[in-house]
Amino acid sequence: MTTHAPAAAGLASNSEQQGLSVSGEGRASAAPDMAVLGLGVSAKAATVKAANNQVQEAMSDLLDSLEGNGVEEKDIQTRQFSIYPEYDYRNGEQILTGYRITHMLQVKVRDIDKAGEVIDDAVEAGGDLLQVQSISFTIDDTTALRSEAREEAVADAQAKAEELATLVGVTLGKPTYISESAYTPTPQPYLERGLGFAMEEAAPVTEISAGELEVVVNVYITYAIE
Protein backbone atom coordinates (compact mmCIF):
# COMPACT_ATOMS: atom_id res chain seq x y z
CA MET A 1 0.00 0.00 0.00
CA THR A 2 1.16 3.48 -0.72
CA THR A 3 1.45 5.90 2.15
CA HIS A 4 2.09 9.60 2.01
CA ALA A 5 3.31 12.15 4.49
CA PRO A 6 0.43 14.16 5.94
CA ALA A 7 -0.38 17.08 3.66
CA ALA A 8 -0.59 20.56 5.14
CA ALA A 9 -3.74 22.60 4.71
CA GLY A 10 -3.47 25.56 2.34
CA LEU A 11 -4.12 26.93 -1.10
CA ALA A 12 -3.24 24.44 -3.85
CA SER A 13 -0.81 25.66 -6.48
CA ASN A 14 -1.30 22.92 -9.08
CA SER A 15 -3.46 24.19 -11.93
CA GLU A 16 -5.57 21.04 -11.75
CA GLN A 17 -6.06 21.42 -8.00
CA GLN A 18 -6.62 25.14 -7.53
CA GLY A 19 -8.52 25.94 -4.36
CA LEU A 20 -8.23 25.04 -0.71
CA SER A 21 -6.33 21.80 0.00
CA VAL A 22 -6.56 19.90 3.27
CA SER A 23 -5.73 16.49 4.66
CA GLY A 24 -7.81 14.36 7.00
CA GLU A 25 -7.07 11.25 9.00
CA GLY A 26 -9.35 8.53 10.30
CA ARG A 27 -8.65 5.47 12.42
CA ALA A 28 -10.60 2.32 13.20
CA SER A 29 -9.43 -0.65 15.24
CA ALA A 30 -10.56 -4.18 15.99
CA ALA A 31 -9.21 -7.40 17.39
CA PRO A 32 -7.46 -9.66 14.86
CA ASP A 33 -9.40 -12.70 13.70
CA MET A 34 -6.55 -14.73 12.23
CA ALA A 35 -3.05 -15.77 13.31
CA VAL A 36 -0.29 -16.34 10.78
CA LEU A 37 2.48 -18.70 11.88
CA GLY A 38 5.88 -19.18 10.30
CA LEU A 39 6.97 -22.65 11.32
CA GLY A 40 8.60 -25.76 9.92
CA VAL A 41 11.31 -28.33 10.48
CA SER A 42 15.07 -28.39 10.04
CA ALA A 43 17.43 -31.36 10.24
CA LYS A 44 21.14 -32.00 9.83
CA ALA A 45 22.68 -35.35 8.93
CA ALA A 46 25.79 -36.83 7.36
CA THR A 47 24.09 -37.16 3.97
CA VAL A 48 21.38 -35.25 2.13
CA LYS A 49 19.26 -38.40 2.00
CA ALA A 50 19.44 -38.94 5.74
CA ALA A 51 18.58 -35.29 6.46
CA ASN A 52 15.71 -35.42 3.98
CA ASN A 53 14.29 -38.55 5.60
CA GLN A 54 14.25 -36.81 8.98
CA VAL A 55 12.62 -33.69 7.55
CA GLN A 56 9.99 -35.64 5.63
CA GLU A 57 9.03 -37.68 8.69
CA ALA A 58 8.83 -34.63 10.95
CA MET A 59 6.94 -32.62 8.32
CA SER A 60 4.40 -35.41 7.91
CA ASP A 61 3.78 -35.40 11.66
CA LEU A 62 3.56 -31.60 11.65
CA LEU A 63 1.01 -31.55 8.82
CA ASP A 64 -1.06 -34.21 10.60
CA SER A 65 -1.00 -32.03 13.72
CA LEU A 66 -2.15 -28.95 11.80
CA GLU A 67 -4.94 -30.91 10.11
CA GLY A 68 -6.00 -32.29 13.48
CA ASN A 69 -6.40 -28.72 14.72
CA GLY A 70 -8.70 -27.81 11.86
CA VAL A 71 -6.17 -26.00 9.66
CA GLU A 72 -7.23 -26.44 6.04
CA GLU A 73 -4.83 -27.38 3.25
CA LYS A 74 -5.46 -24.05 1.50
CA ASP A 75 -4.09 -22.25 4.57
CA ILE A 76 -0.73 -24.06 4.51
CA GLN A 77 1.91 -22.80 2.11
CA THR A 78 5.60 -23.68 1.74
CA ARG A 79 7.64 -20.49 2.12
CA GLN A 80 11.15 -21.92 2.17
CA PHE A 81 12.88 -25.16 1.24
CA SER A 82 16.67 -25.24 1.37
CA ILE A 83 19.49 -27.78 1.26
CA TYR A 84 23.03 -26.75 2.03
CA PRO A 85 26.26 -28.20 3.44
CA GLU A 86 27.57 -27.14 6.84
CA TYR A 87 31.24 -26.84 7.65
CA ASP A 88 33.47 -26.52 10.67
CA TYR A 89 36.87 -24.87 10.64
CA ARG A 90 39.75 -26.56 12.44
CA ASN A 91 43.29 -25.31 12.24
CA GLY A 92 42.37 -23.23 9.21
CA GLU A 93 40.92 -26.22 7.39
CA GLN A 94 37.31 -26.40 6.20
CA ILE A 95 35.71 -29.69 7.22
CA LEU A 96 32.30 -30.84 6.05
CA THR A 97 30.14 -31.70 9.08
CA GLY A 98 26.92 -32.60 7.30
CA TYR A 99 23.98 -31.33 5.32
CA ARG A 100 21.06 -29.29 6.59
CA ILE A 101 17.59 -29.31 5.08
CA THR A 102 14.99 -26.75 6.17
CA HIS A 103 11.33 -26.75 5.18
CA MET A 104 9.33 -23.74 6.41
CA LEU A 105 5.59 -23.15 6.14
CA GLN A 106 3.24 -20.21 6.42
CA VAL A 107 0.16 -21.35 8.31
CA LYS A 108 -3.05 -19.38 8.68
CA VAL A 109 -4.99 -20.19 11.84
CA ARG A 110 -8.48 -18.80 11.29
CA ASP A 111 -9.69 -19.79 14.75
CA ILE A 112 -7.38 -17.36 16.52
CA ASP A 113 -8.31 -18.69 19.97
CA LYS A 114 -6.63 -21.98 19.01
CA ALA A 115 -3.31 -20.43 17.99
CA GLY A 116 -1.58 -21.40 21.23
CA GLU A 117 -2.87 -24.96 21.01
CA VAL A 118 -1.78 -25.21 17.37
CA ILE A 119 1.74 -24.14 18.36
CA ASP A 120 1.92 -26.56 21.29
CA ASP A 121 0.77 -29.49 19.17
CA ALA A 122 3.23 -28.49 16.45
CA VAL A 123 6.07 -28.51 19.00
CA GLU A 124 5.03 -31.98 20.13
CA ALA A 125 4.75 -33.23 16.54
CA GLY A 126 7.99 -31.72 15.27
CA GLY A 127 10.03 -32.35 18.39
CA ASP A 128 13.60 -31.10 18.34
CA LEU A 129 13.41 -30.48 14.59
CA LEU A 130 10.65 -27.88 14.87
CA GLN A 131 11.37 -24.21 14.17
CA VAL A 132 8.96 -21.37 14.93
CA GLN A 133 10.18 -18.27 13.11
CA SER A 134 7.29 -15.85 13.41
CA ILE A 135 3.81 -15.22 14.75
CA SER A 136 1.70 -12.34 13.50
CA PHE A 137 -1.94 -11.38 13.45
CA THR A 138 -4.26 -9.94 10.86
CA ILE A 139 -7.88 -9.20 10.06
CA ASP A 140 -9.10 -11.30 7.17
CA ASP A 141 -11.43 -8.64 5.77
CA THR A 142 -10.72 -4.99 6.62
CA THR A 143 -13.44 -3.55 4.36
CA ALA A 144 -15.71 -2.43 7.20
CA LEU A 145 -12.80 -0.94 9.18
CA ARG A 146 -11.57 0.96 6.13
CA SER A 147 -15.04 2.39 5.56
CA GLU A 148 -15.25 3.52 9.18
CA ALA A 149 -11.79 5.11 9.05
CA ARG A 150 -12.52 6.70 5.67
CA GLU A 151 -15.69 8.34 6.96
CA GLU A 152 -13.78 9.79 9.89
CA ALA A 153 -10.97 11.01 7.60
CA VAL A 154 -13.37 12.80 5.24
CA ALA A 155 -15.16 14.44 8.18
CA ASP A 156 -11.78 15.55 9.55
CA ALA A 157 -10.79 17.09 6.21
CA GLN A 158 -14.18 18.75 5.79
CA ALA A 159 -13.97 20.33 9.24
CA LYS A 160 -10.50 21.70 8.52
CA ALA A 161 -11.61 23.13 5.18
CA GLU A 162 -14.66 24.83 6.69
CA GLU A 163 -12.57 26.32 9.49
CA LEU A 164 -9.96 27.64 7.07
CA ALA A 165 -12.59 29.07 4.74
CA THR A 166 -14.16 30.95 7.65
CA LEU A 167 -10.81 32.24 8.87
CA VAL A 168 -9.80 33.66 5.48
CA GLY A 169 -13.30 34.85 4.56
CA VAL A 170 -14.04 32.71 1.49
CA THR A 171 -16.92 30.43 0.54
CA LEU A 172 -16.10 26.76 0.23
CA GLY A 173 -17.16 25.08 -3.01
CA LYS A 174 -17.31 21.43 -4.06
CA PRO A 175 -14.27 19.13 -3.96
CA THR A 176 -12.22 19.18 -7.16
CA TYR A 177 -9.59 16.63 -6.16
CA ILE A 178 -9.59 13.68 -3.75
CA SER A 179 -6.94 11.07 -3.02
CA GLU A 180 -6.56 8.45 -0.33
CA SER A 181 -3.91 6.31 1.30
CA ALA A 182 -4.35 3.61 3.91
CA TYR A 183 -2.23 1.30 5.99
CA THR A 184 -2.56 -1.20 8.79
CA PRO A 185 0.25 -1.13 11.38
CA THR A 186 1.02 -4.58 12.75
CA PRO A 187 1.74 -4.90 16.48
CA GLN A 188 4.56 -7.13 17.69
CA PRO A 189 2.99 -10.13 19.45
CA TYR A 190 4.65 -12.07 22.21
CA LEU A 191 4.42 -15.48 23.83
CA GLU A 192 3.74 -15.65 27.53
CA ARG A 193 6.10 -18.58 27.78
CA GLY A 194 8.99 -19.52 25.55
CA LEU A 195 8.74 -21.96 22.69
CA GLY A 196 11.07 -24.54 24.16
CA PHE A 197 11.23 -27.66 22.07
CA ALA A 198 11.08 -30.01 25.03
CA MET A 199 7.43 -30.23 26.06
CA GLU A 200 6.61 -31.15 29.63
CA GLU A 201 3.66 -33.43 30.20
CA ALA A 202 0.45 -31.52 30.95
CA ALA A 203 2.19 -28.20 30.27
CA PRO A 204 -0.16 -25.22 30.06
CA VAL A 205 -1.27 -24.05 26.63
CA THR A 206 0.93 -21.35 25.16
CA GLU A 207 -0.89 -18.04 25.60
CA ILE A 208 -0.53 -15.45 22.86
CA SER A 209 -1.40 -11.77 23.08
CA ALA A 210 -3.00 -10.68 19.81
CA GLY A 211 -3.75 -7.08 20.81
CA GLU A 212 -5.63 -4.93 18.31
CA LEU A 213 -5.01 -3.90 14.74
CA GLU A 214 -5.68 -0.37 13.58
CA VAL A 215 -6.54 0.71 10.06
CA VAL A 216 -5.48 4.28 9.25
CA VAL A 217 -6.90 6.16 6.27
CA ASN A 218 -5.61 9.52 5.09
CA VAL A 219 -7.51 11.62 2.55
CA TYR A 220 -6.30 14.65 0.63
CA ILE A 221 -9.04 16.93 -0.68
CA THR A 222 -8.97 20.16 -2.66
CA TYR A 223 -12.10 22.32 -2.50
CA ALA A 224 -13.03 24.99 -4.99
CA ILE A 225 -13.30 28.52 -3.61
CA GLU A 226 -16.39 30.47 -4.61
pLDDT of 65 > 50? The answer is yes
3-state secondary structure of 175: strand
pLDDT of 159 > 80? The answer is yes
pLDDT at 10: 52
3-state secondary structure of 39: strand
**Does residue 125 form part of some domain?**
yes
**Does residue 5 form part of some domain?**
no
- Are residues 80 and 124 part of one domain? yes
C-beta of residue 206 within 8 angstroms of C-beta of residue 192: yes
**Does residue 15 form part of some domain?**
yes
Q: pTM of the entire structure?
A: 0.72
- Are residues 152 and 86 part of one domain? no
Asked which of 15-19, 81-85, 199-203, 222-226 is least confident by mean pLDDT, the reply is 199-203
- Are residues 50 and 69 part of one domain? yes
Sign of the CA dihedral with 153 first, then 159, 163, and 164 last: positive
- Are residues 82 and 101 part of one domain? yes
pLDDT tens-digit profile of 179-192?
A: 999 887 665 454 44
pLDDT tens-digit profile of 25-36?
A: 999 999 999 999
Confidence of residue 200 (pLDDT cuts 50, 70, 90): very low
pLDDT at 205: 63
Average pLDDT over residues 66-82: 97
